[in-house]
Amino acid sequence: MTDSTGRRVTANLNLSLDGRYHGPGGPSDFGTFVPYVTSEVARGQLGRIWQDATTAVLGRGNAQGFMGYWPTVADDEHADARDRGYARWLVATEKVVLSTTLTEAPWERTRVVDAPAAEVVAELKATGEGDILVNTSPSVIKPLLAADLIDRLYLMVLPVILGGGERLFEDGLPVSKWKLTHLETGDLGEIAMVYDRVR
């Protein structure tokens, strides 16, 4: 459900078959995902996530990682056109970084906010237009799921079992129903799915 501004809150994330967004080695342990996230299906999903979005919300770790990578893709004539389109959108769009430690914005068109994710996103929904994309940031997605504030989930499920690491869907979430609105399977066994919240 969207409020009077019509803004949806969307979120994207890659998950293993056992529901984890990184391996047992911690947040930087996602090397087993690499072969799948540049597939045709993954690139199609990447193009899908930002088409209607006008605001990107990121956790601090992802914001700093993205800052070091995506601006160079935006200017790279040899990069895949879909990657370049996403990179240019990310550089140009409004960005909100949730952090308790950053003291200045890491990018142009970026503001740093030290406040609970649910409060920040509720305020964003009350103004402006276009989707609010929570961009590959589980530290933000998890509290929004707990507050039932996500309207659309873009999930890539990858054919690996990690056996350890953090899970996206933890015990204690409110009961919710979702409608599958897109499904695509890649040659490597990866699956792109889009789920819309049924309210």
pLDDT tens profile 10-26 = 999 999 999 999 999 98
Shortest CA distance to 174 belongs to which of 127, 139, 142?
A: 142
Say what the pLDDT of residue 5 is.
62
Say what the pLDDT of residue 28 is.
83
pLDDT tens profile 47-90 = 999 999 999 999 998 888 888 888 899 989 999 899 999 999 99
For domain 39-188, give the fold.
Dihydrofolate Reductase, subunit A (3.40.430)
- Average pLDDT, stretch 153-174? 95
Q: Which amino acid is present at 94?
A: E
What angle, 0 to 180 degrees and rounded to 10, lies between the N-to-C axes of helices 81-92 and 40-50? Answer: 30
Question: CB neighbours of 5 closer than 8 A, spacing ≥ 6?
Answer: 125, 126, 127, 128, 129
Percent of the chain with pLDDT over 70: 97
Residue spans of the domains in the chain: they are: 39-188
Q: What Rg value do the Cα atoms of the chain yield, rounded?
A: 16
Say what the pLDDT of residue 2 is.
43
CA–CA separation, 56 and 39 (whole Å): 23
- Average pLDDT, stretch 88-96? 94
Here the tokens at position 92 are 């140009």
- Average predicted confidence (pLDDT) for the chain: 93
Question: CB neighbours of 171 closer than 8 A, spacing ≥ 6?
Answer: none
pTM, full prediction: 0.93
Task: Classify residue 164 by its DSSP letter.
Answer: S
